[in-house]
Structure 1
C-alpha cells in the first residue's frame, strides 16, 4: 500500500506571473516533497515589476473551500498569505482551529507588495493580537513588523509580537545585515545568517520562504 503523502494547504492570492502567491507556494511545496493544496483568497493582476489590481474572494467561498479540503485530506499545516483585513484573517484562523485545533497555521502578514501596493489600509492592533494567539508562526519583514506594532525598532517589534506567537523577522530589507533573519521563540532570539553572499531581490521571496517552512513543519 502506498504511503499517504504529507499534505499542506496554502490560502493565498493568485499571481499570474508565477513569482508569488499560490503558484510560488505550490512550486515550493513540490520541491520539498510535500503534497500542496491551494485555495485562492484573491485574484491579482501583477508582474514582477508592477501591481495592477486585486479582486478579493468572499470569506464564505474561502471557508467553504477550507471545509472541503479539511474533510478530504489529512492536512497538518496551513499557510495564509494575502488577506484584505485582519478581520478576514481572524475568520479564517478561527474556522480552521474550530475544525482541527491541532493544525499549525503559518501567516505571512503581507501588508504591502514588493512593488508598493498596499493590501491593508488600516490595522486594528487589538484584533491582531487576538488572531496571533491562534497562530504558530508569523513571518514579517522589518517594515511589516513595524506596521504591526507601535514601536520604531523592528527587533523590538518582533519581540513584542513573539509574546503571542513565534516570529521569524526577515532581514531582506536590512541594509546593515542583508539576509540576516531573527527567530523569536520561547523567549529566545536566534540569529540566522545567510550562507550565500550574492543575495539579490526576488519578487515573491517571502511567499517561497514561508511555503518552505510550512513544508518542513
Structure 2
C-alpha cells in the first residue's frame, strides 16, 4: 500500500556526526513517516564529543534555499535550530509566516554546543517575546530556559514565557529516576515522563525530540499529542545503544492523526 507523506522543514546547522542538527532532524522526520526538507544555516566542524568551529550561512543563502522549497512543496511545519543571529530571527520568522499564514513553527534554541562552545548569550526579554509571538512551540532544555529568561527556576522561567507561546521544557538535564518534560499550554501543565536510562545520554537528543514533535504536528496531531509522541520516540533513540549516537527506527503510521 502506498501512502503520501506530509512535508516538514528543518532550518538548522549541519553536524557531520549526524547526531544533531539537519541530519538528525531529517532522520527523525523520516522515521516518523514525514518527508524531511532541510535548509542549512551553519556548517560545523565537530563530532559527538568535540566542537572546533562553525561557519555561518548568510541570511540571503538561507532564504534562497527555503524559497525554492516553498515554491515546490506544501510546507506547513518548520523547525528552527542553530542560527547565527537571534536579533535577525524575527525577520526569518516573518518571512516564513508570509509563505504560509497558517504555518506552525517550533524553535529549538541552540545556545551552546554540548562540547561547550558558546553560540549565544542571553537575549533581551523584548526579543524573546517578539520571537515567541511567531511560534507554535518553544523547546528549551533547563539551562537554555534560564539563559533565555532568567528566573528563580527553569520551571518559573518556562511559566512566564508560556504567556507568549507554548513551552515544552525538556527534562533531560534534571535529576531523578524519571526524565520529565513539561508542556505549558494555555495555562495548563502537561507532563511526559520516561525512565532515566543509565546510558541514555545522546548527542543531539534535544534535536531529536523537537523534530519528532514537528513530525507528529505535520501528521495532524494536537500539540499535546505531538509532545507525548515525540517524548516516546526520543526514549527509543536514547535506549537504542550505549554510545552517544542514537539509532532511529521507522514508523508504520504515516497518518496516525488523520
Q: Is 2:89 aligned against 1:89?
A: yes
For 1:43, the equivalent position in structure 2 comes to: 43
Residues 24 and 207 in structure 1, CA contact (< 8 A), matched pair in contact too: yes
Q: 1:147 to 1:121 in 2, by over 3 A?
A: closer
Residues 179 and 195 in structure 2, CA contact (< 8 A), matched pair in contact too: no
Shift of 1:101: 1.3
Instruction: Report the 3-state secondary structure (helix = DSSP H, G, I; strand = E; otherwise coil) of the residue aligned with 2:105.
Output: strand
Q: Is 2:120 aligned against 1:120?
A: yes
Residues 140 and 168 in structure 1, CA contact (< 8 A), matched pair in contact too: yes
Residues 15 and 23 in structure 1, CA contact (< 8 A), matched pair in contact too: yes
Shift of 1:110: 1.0
Could you say what the CA RMSD is over the residues aligned between the two structures, in angstroms?
A: 1.5
For 1:30, the equivalent position in structure 2 comes to: 30
CA distance in 1, matches of 2:197, 2:69: 40
Shift of 1:176: 3.6
Residues 179 and 199 in structure 1, CA contact (< 8 A), matched pair in contact too: no
Residues 171 and 177 in structure 1, CA contact (< 8 A), matched pair in contact too: no
Structure 2 unpaired stretches of 5+: 218-258
Q: Is 2:214 aligned against 1:214?
A: yes
Q: 1:199 to 1:192 in 2, by over 3 A?
A: farther
The number of aligned residues is 216
Choose 117-126 or 206-215, whichever is displaced more. Answer: 117-126
Residues 182 and 191 in structure 2, CA contact (< 8 A), matched pair in contact too: yes
CA distance in 1, matches of 2:101, 2:11: 17
Instruction: Report the 3-state secondary structure (helix = DSSP H, G, I; strand = E; otherwise coil) of the residue aligned with 1:179.
Output: strand
CA distance in 2, matches of 1:114, 1:178: 21
Superposition TM-score, scaled by structure 2 size: 0.80
Q: Is 2:188 aligned against 1:188?
A: yes
Choose 70-79 or 124-133, whichever is displaced more. Answer: 124-133
- Superposition pairs for residues 198-213 of structure 1, below 5 Å? 198=198, 200-213=200-213
Residue deviations 1:60-103 (CA, integer Å, cap 9, x gap): 11112211111110111000001122123212111101121101
Residue deviations 1:131-164 (CA, integer Å, cap 9, x gap): 1111000100000111111313000000011111
Choose 82-91 or 100-109, whichever is displaced more. Answer: 82-91
Superposition TM-score, scaled by structure 1 size: 0.95
- Superposition pairs for residues 159-198 of structure 1, below 5 Å? 159-176=159-176, 178-195=178-195, 197-198=197-198
Residues 16 and 47 in structure 2, CA contact (< 8 A), matched pair in contact too: yes
Residue deviations 1:95-117 (CA, integer Å, cap 9, x gap): 10112110100010111111111
Instruction: Report the 3-state secondary structure (helix = DSSP H, G, I; strand = E; otherwise coil) of the residue aligned with 1:216.
Output: helix
Structure 1 unpaired stretches of 5+: none
CA distance in 2, matches of 1:8, 1:181: 23
Residue deviations 1:146-203 (CA, integer Å, cap 9, x gap): 1111313000000011111110000100024651110100111111111565462110
For 1:157, the equivalent position in structure 2 comes to: 157
Structure 1 segments of 4+ aligned residues over 4 angstroms from their partners: 195-199
CA distance in 1, matches of 2:171, 2:199: 11
